[in-house]
Amino acid sequence: MHARKLVVLIVFVAFLLVPIYWLLNMSFKSNTEILGGLTLWPRDFTLDNYRVIFTDPAWYGGYLNSLYYVCLNTAISLSVALPAAYAFSRYRFLGDRHLFFWLLTNRMAPPAVFLLPFFQLYSSIGLFDTHIAVALAHCLFNVPLAVWILEGFMSGVPKEIDETAYIDGYSFPRFFLGIFLPLIRSGIGVTAFFCFMFSWVELLLARTLTSVDAKPIVSVMTRTVSASGIDWGVLAAAGVLTILPGMLVIWFVRNHVAKGFALGRV
Protein backbone atom coordinates (compact mmCIF):
# COMPACT_ATOMS: atom_id res chain seq x y z
CA MET A 1 0.00 0.00 0.00
CA HIS A 2 2.66 2.49 1.00
CA ALA A 3 4.80 1.61 -1.97
CA ARG A 4 1.89 2.28 -4.32
CA LYS A 5 1.26 5.67 -2.71
CA LEU A 6 4.90 6.56 -3.09
CA VAL A 7 4.86 5.62 -6.77
CA VAL A 8 1.81 7.81 -7.48
CA LEU A 9 3.39 10.70 -5.65
CA ILE A 10 6.76 10.37 -7.37
CA VAL A 11 5.17 10.14 -10.82
CA PHE A 12 3.10 13.24 -10.15
CA VAL A 13 6.02 15.23 -8.76
CA ALA A 14 8.13 14.21 -11.75
CA PHE A 15 5.32 15.37 -14.06
CA LEU A 16 5.39 18.73 -12.28
CA LEU A 17 9.14 19.15 -12.26
CA VAL A 18 10.28 17.94 -15.68
CA PRO A 19 8.93 20.95 -17.65
CA ILE A 20 10.51 23.27 -15.07
CA TYR A 21 13.78 21.39 -15.32
CA TRP A 22 13.65 21.86 -19.07
CA LEU A 23 13.24 25.63 -18.63
CA LEU A 24 16.13 25.73 -16.17
CA ASN A 25 18.25 23.60 -18.46
CA MET A 26 17.64 25.91 -21.41
CA SER A 27 18.42 29.02 -19.42
CA PHE A 28 22.01 27.81 -19.00
CA LYS A 29 22.54 27.03 -22.68
CA SER A 30 23.67 29.26 -25.49
CA ASN A 31 21.27 29.74 -28.38
CA THR A 32 23.44 27.74 -30.75
CA GLU A 33 23.27 24.77 -28.41
CA ILE A 34 19.48 25.12 -27.94
CA LEU A 35 18.80 25.16 -31.67
CA GLY A 36 21.63 22.76 -32.55
CA GLY A 37 20.09 19.63 -31.08
CA LEU A 38 18.55 18.09 -28.02
CA THR A 39 20.80 17.87 -24.98
CA LEU A 40 19.55 16.73 -21.61
CA TRP A 41 21.92 19.00 -19.71
CA PRO A 42 23.94 22.05 -20.77
CA ARG A 43 27.14 20.84 -22.45
CA ASP A 44 28.45 24.32 -22.61
CA PHE A 45 27.35 25.84 -19.32
CA THR A 46 26.87 29.60 -19.60
CA LEU A 47 25.47 32.41 -17.48
CA ASP A 48 25.24 34.82 -20.42
CA ASN A 49 21.44 34.71 -20.55
CA TYR A 50 21.23 35.88 -16.94
CA ARG A 51 23.88 38.51 -17.58
CA VAL A 52 21.70 39.98 -20.34
CA ILE A 53 18.78 40.31 -17.94
CA PHE A 54 20.75 41.85 -15.09
CA THR A 55 22.47 44.42 -17.28
CA ASP A 56 19.60 45.51 -19.55
CA PRO A 57 17.32 48.08 -17.80
CA ALA A 58 14.33 47.00 -19.92
CA TRP A 59 14.58 43.52 -18.35
CA TYR A 60 15.47 44.18 -14.72
CA GLY A 61 13.22 47.27 -14.72
CA GLY A 62 10.35 44.93 -15.52
CA TYR A 63 11.07 42.93 -12.38
CA LEU A 64 11.25 46.05 -10.23
CA ASN A 65 7.97 47.36 -11.67
CA SER A 66 6.23 44.06 -11.02
CA LEU A 67 7.54 43.79 -7.47
CA TYR A 68 6.52 47.38 -6.77
CA TYR A 69 2.89 47.07 -7.80
CA VAL A 70 2.54 43.60 -6.30
CA CYS A 71 3.71 44.84 -2.87
CA LEU A 72 1.50 47.91 -3.16
CA ASN A 73 -1.47 45.73 -3.99
CA THR A 74 -0.78 43.34 -1.10
CA ALA A 75 -0.59 46.25 1.36
CA ILE A 76 -3.82 47.86 0.12
CA SER A 77 -5.73 44.57 -0.02
CA LEU A 78 -4.73 43.53 3.49
CA SER A 79 -5.41 46.88 5.13
CA VAL A 80 -8.96 47.18 3.79
CA ALA A 81 -9.79 43.48 4.04
CA LEU A 82 -8.87 43.02 7.71
CA PRO A 83 -11.67 45.17 9.24
CA ALA A 84 -14.18 43.94 6.66
CA ALA A 85 -13.39 40.29 7.37
CA TYR A 86 -13.82 40.99 11.09
CA ALA A 87 -17.26 42.50 10.41
CA PHE A 88 -18.30 39.50 8.30
CA SER A 89 -17.09 36.96 10.83
CA ARG A 90 -18.58 38.61 13.94
CA TYR A 91 -21.69 40.59 13.02
CA ARG A 92 -24.90 40.22 11.12
CA PHE A 93 -25.85 43.40 9.34
CA LEU A 94 -28.19 44.60 6.66
CA GLY A 95 -27.36 42.95 3.36
CA ASP A 96 -24.27 41.13 4.66
CA ARG A 97 -24.77 37.95 2.64
CA HIS A 98 -25.57 39.87 -0.52
CA LEU A 99 -22.52 42.06 -0.06
CA PHE A 100 -20.32 39.02 0.46
CA PHE A 101 -21.72 37.39 -2.67
CA TRP A 102 -21.19 40.57 -4.65
CA LEU A 103 -17.53 40.64 -3.54
CA LEU A 104 -17.22 37.03 -4.61
CA THR A 105 -18.58 37.68 -8.09
CA ASN A 106 -15.71 40.11 -8.63
CA ARG A 107 -13.22 37.34 -7.87
CA MET A 108 -15.06 35.18 -10.42
CA ALA A 109 -15.49 37.78 -13.15
CA PRO A 110 -13.13 37.34 -16.10
CA PRO A 111 -10.63 40.23 -16.28
CA ALA A 112 -11.27 40.36 -20.03
CA VAL A 113 -14.73 41.80 -19.27
CA PHE A 114 -13.21 44.79 -17.48
CA LEU A 115 -10.41 45.39 -19.93
CA LEU A 116 -11.91 48.23 -21.96
CA PRO A 117 -13.52 50.31 -19.23
CA PHE A 118 -10.43 49.95 -17.03
CA PHE A 119 -8.30 51.40 -19.74
CA GLN A 120 -10.73 54.32 -20.13
CA LEU A 121 -11.21 54.76 -16.38
CA TYR A 122 -7.54 54.96 -15.50
CA SER A 123 -6.72 57.09 -18.52
CA SER A 124 -9.44 59.57 -17.61
CA ILE A 125 -8.14 60.04 -14.07
CA GLY A 126 -4.55 60.27 -15.28
CA LEU A 127 -3.29 57.07 -13.70
CA PHE A 128 -2.55 55.17 -16.89
CA ASP A 129 0.94 53.61 -16.90
CA THR A 130 1.48 54.03 -13.15
CA HIS A 131 2.08 51.32 -10.57
CA ILE A 132 -0.86 52.38 -8.47
CA ALA A 133 -3.24 51.80 -11.42
CA VAL A 134 -2.21 48.15 -11.70
CA ALA A 135 -2.29 47.75 -7.91
CA LEU A 136 -5.84 49.16 -7.76
CA ALA A 137 -7.00 47.07 -10.71
CA HIS A 138 -5.67 43.89 -9.08
CA CYS A 139 -7.62 44.79 -5.94
CA LEU A 140 -10.70 43.82 -7.92
CA PHE A 141 -9.95 40.13 -7.43
CA ASN A 142 -7.48 40.25 -4.52
CA VAL A 143 -9.64 42.14 -2.01
CA PRO A 144 -12.57 39.68 -2.26
CA LEU A 145 -10.14 36.78 -1.95
CA ALA A 146 -8.45 38.37 1.07
CA VAL A 147 -11.79 38.98 2.78
CA TRP A 148 -12.81 35.41 2.04
CA ILE A 149 -9.66 33.79 3.46
CA LEU A 150 -9.42 36.10 6.50
CA GLU A 151 -13.07 35.57 7.33
CA GLY A 152 -12.41 31.83 7.46
CA PHE A 153 -9.44 32.28 9.78
CA MET A 154 -11.23 34.80 12.02
CA SER A 155 -14.26 32.55 12.42
CA GLY A 156 -11.89 30.04 14.00
CA VAL A 157 -11.09 32.43 16.89
CA PRO A 158 -13.58 32.00 19.74
CA LYS A 159 -15.82 34.99 20.32
CA GLU A 160 -15.27 34.84 24.08
CA ILE A 161 -11.88 36.50 23.50
CA ASP A 162 -13.57 39.58 22.03
CA GLU A 163 -16.09 39.73 24.82
CA THR A 164 -13.51 39.38 27.58
CA ALA A 165 -11.39 42.12 26.05
CA TYR A 166 -14.34 44.50 25.84
CA ILE A 167 -15.27 43.79 29.46
CA ASP A 168 -11.67 44.51 30.43
CA GLY A 169 -12.11 47.96 28.94
CA TYR A 170 -10.25 47.62 25.68
CA SER A 171 -11.40 49.97 22.93
CA PHE A 172 -12.06 48.42 19.54
CA PRO A 173 -8.88 49.67 17.77
CA ARG A 174 -6.69 48.66 20.71
CA PHE A 175 -8.25 45.23 20.93
CA PHE A 176 -8.13 44.71 17.17
CA LEU A 177 -4.50 45.73 16.71
CA GLY A 178 -3.10 44.55 20.02
CA ILE A 179 -4.89 41.27 20.69
CA PHE A 180 -6.85 40.08 17.70
CA LEU A 181 -4.35 40.52 14.87
CA PRO A 182 -1.53 38.65 16.66
CA LEU A 183 -3.98 35.75 17.16
CA ILE A 184 -4.51 35.33 13.42
CA ARG A 185 -0.90 36.00 12.45
CA SER A 186 -0.69 32.89 10.32
CA GLY A 187 -3.92 33.76 8.53
CA ILE A 188 -2.58 37.20 7.68
CA GLY A 189 0.65 35.68 6.40
CA VAL A 190 -1.18 33.25 4.15
CA THR A 191 -3.50 35.96 2.88
CA ALA A 192 -0.55 38.19 2.04
CA PHE A 193 0.98 35.25 0.20
CA PHE A 194 -2.16 34.74 -1.88
CA CYS A 195 -2.47 38.44 -2.73
CA PHE A 196 1.18 38.44 -3.73
CA MET A 197 0.77 35.33 -5.83
CA PHE A 198 -2.37 36.32 -7.76
CA SER A 199 -1.06 39.79 -8.46
CA TRP A 200 2.30 38.39 -9.54
CA VAL A 201 0.91 35.88 -12.02
CA GLU A 202 -1.70 38.13 -13.67
CA LEU A 203 -0.91 39.35 -17.16
CA LEU A 204 -3.95 40.72 -18.97
CA LEU A 205 -4.76 43.75 -16.78
CA ALA A 206 -1.13 44.53 -16.01
CA ARG A 207 -0.32 44.59 -19.71
CA THR A 208 -3.34 46.70 -20.64
CA LEU A 209 -2.79 49.36 -17.98
CA THR A 210 0.89 50.00 -18.62
CA SER A 211 3.03 51.03 -21.56
CA VAL A 212 6.51 52.24 -20.59
CA ASP A 213 7.08 53.49 -17.05
CA ALA A 214 5.35 50.69 -15.16
CA LYS A 215 5.75 47.87 -17.67
CA PRO A 216 5.75 44.57 -15.76
CA ILE A 217 8.09 41.69 -16.44
CA VAL A 218 5.33 39.43 -17.76
CA SER A 219 4.59 41.91 -20.50
CA VAL A 220 8.26 42.47 -21.31
CA MET A 221 8.39 38.71 -21.89
CA THR A 222 5.39 38.47 -24.22
CA ARG A 223 6.66 41.34 -26.32
CA THR A 224 9.97 39.55 -26.74
CA VAL A 225 8.12 36.46 -27.89
CA SER A 226 6.25 38.32 -30.59
CA ALA A 227 9.39 39.96 -31.93
CA SER A 228 11.03 38.32 -34.92
CA GLY A 229 13.62 35.72 -33.97
CA ILE A 230 13.06 34.53 -30.44
CA ASP A 231 16.00 34.58 -28.05
CA TRP A 232 15.10 31.29 -26.36
CA GLY A 233 17.91 31.34 -23.83
CA VAL A 234 17.08 34.78 -22.44
CA LEU A 235 13.38 33.96 -22.46
CA ALA A 236 14.05 30.82 -20.41
CA ALA A 237 16.26 32.72 -17.98
CA ALA A 238 13.59 35.39 -17.53
CA GLY A 239 11.03 32.64 -16.89
CA VAL A 240 13.23 31.05 -14.23
CA LEU A 241 13.65 34.41 -12.51
CA THR A 242 9.86 34.94 -12.34
CA ILE A 243 9.50 31.69 -10.40
CA LEU A 244 11.98 32.66 -7.69
CA PRO A 245 10.04 35.36 -5.74
CA GLY A 246 7.08 33.02 -5.29
CA MET A 247 9.31 30.23 -4.01
CA LEU A 248 10.93 32.62 -1.57
CA VAL A 249 7.57 33.79 -0.21
CA ILE A 250 6.05 30.34 0.09
CA TRP A 251 8.89 29.23 2.35
CA PHE A 252 7.64 31.55 5.08
CA VAL A 253 4.06 30.29 5.01
CA ARG A 254 4.72 26.63 4.19
CA ASN A 255 2.96 25.31 7.30
CA HIS A 256 -0.24 27.28 6.73
CA VAL A 257 -0.47 27.28 2.99
CA ALA A 258 -2.76 24.24 2.79
CA LYS A 259 -5.23 25.85 5.17
CA GLY A 260 -5.03 29.03 3.13
CA PHE A 261 -5.92 27.17 -0.04
CA ALA A 262 -9.03 25.91 1.75
CA LEU A 263 -9.85 29.60 2.41
CA GLY A 264 -9.37 29.02 6.14
CA ARG A 265 -12.41 26.80 6.12
CA VAL A 266 -11.11 23.54 7.58
Partner 1 sequence: MSWMAWTTPTALFFTFIAVLLAGMTAWELRAPSVPRRGLLPIATTRGDRLFIGLLGSAYWHLMVIGLTDWSIWTATALSVVWLSAVMRWG
Partner 2 sequence: MNKVPNNHAWWLVLPVFALVAFSAILPMMTVVNYSVQDIFDPSTRFFVGADWYRQVLQDPRLHDSLLRQFVFSACVLAIEIPLGIAVALCMPTRGRWASLCLIVLAIPLLIPWNVVGTIWQIFGRADIGLLGWTLNAAGVSYNYASNTLDAWVTVLVMDVWHWTSLVALLCYSGLRAIPDVYYQAARIDRASNWAVFRYIQLPKLKSVLLIAVMLRFMDSFMIYTEPFVLTGGGPGNATTFLSQTLTKMAVGQFDLGPAAAFSLIYFLIILLVSWLFYTAMTHNDQTR
- Smallest gap from Cβ 121 to partner 1, in A, equals 7
Q: What is the distance between the alpha carbons of residues 56 and 141, in angstroms, rounded to a whole number?
A: 32
- Smallest gap from Cβ 123 to partner 1, in A, equals 7
Identify which of residues 94 and 212 has a Cβ nearer to partner 2 in the complex: 94
Identify which of residues 212 and 247 has a Cβ nearer to partner 2 in the complex: 247
Q: DSSP readout, 185-196? A: HHHHHHHHHHHH
118 binds, among partner 2, partner 1, none (CB under 5 to 8 A by kind): partner 2
Q: Measuring CA to CA, which residue among 89, 31, 84 is closest to residue 235?
A: 31
Q: What is the distance between the alpha carbons of residues 102 and 119, in angstroms, rounded to a whole number?
A: 23
Identify which of residues 25 and 130 has a Cβ nearer to partner 1 in the complex: 130
| Residue numbers 109-168 binding partner 1 by CB under 8 A | 120-121, 123-124
- Smallest gap from Cβ 44 to partner 2, in A, equals 15
Q: What is the distance between the alpha carbons of residues 47 and 63, in angstroms, rounded to a whole number?
A: 19
Cβ atoms of 233 and 49 within 8 Å: the answer is: yes
Identify which of residues 116 and 203 has a Cβ nearer to partner 1 in the complex: 116
* Contact pick of 3, 40, 94, 167 for partner 1 (by CB under 8 A): 94
Q: What is the distance between the alpha carbons of residues 26 and 99, in angstroms, rounded to a whole number?
A: 48
Helix spans in 169-231 (H): 172-175, 181-183, 185-201, 204-208, 217-226
| 3, 20, 257 from 9: Cα distances, Å | 10, 17, 19
Length of the chain: 266
19 binds, among partner 1, partner 2, none (CB under 5 to 8 A by kind): partner 2
* Piece of 89-97, 133-141, 163-171, 190-198 that binds partner 1 (CB under 8 A): 89-97
End-to-end CA distance of the chain: 27
Identify which of residues 160 and 168 has a Cβ nearer to partner 2 in the complex: 160
- Smallest gap from Cβ 92 to partner 2, in A, equals 4
- Smallest gap from Cβ 165 to partner 2, in A, equals 15
Compute the Cα dihedral for 173, 176, 181, 183 and give only its sign.
positive
Identify which of residues 21 and 54 has a Cβ nearer to partner 2 in the complex: 21
Give residues in contact with partner 1 (CB under 8 A): 94-95, 97-98, 120-121, 123-124
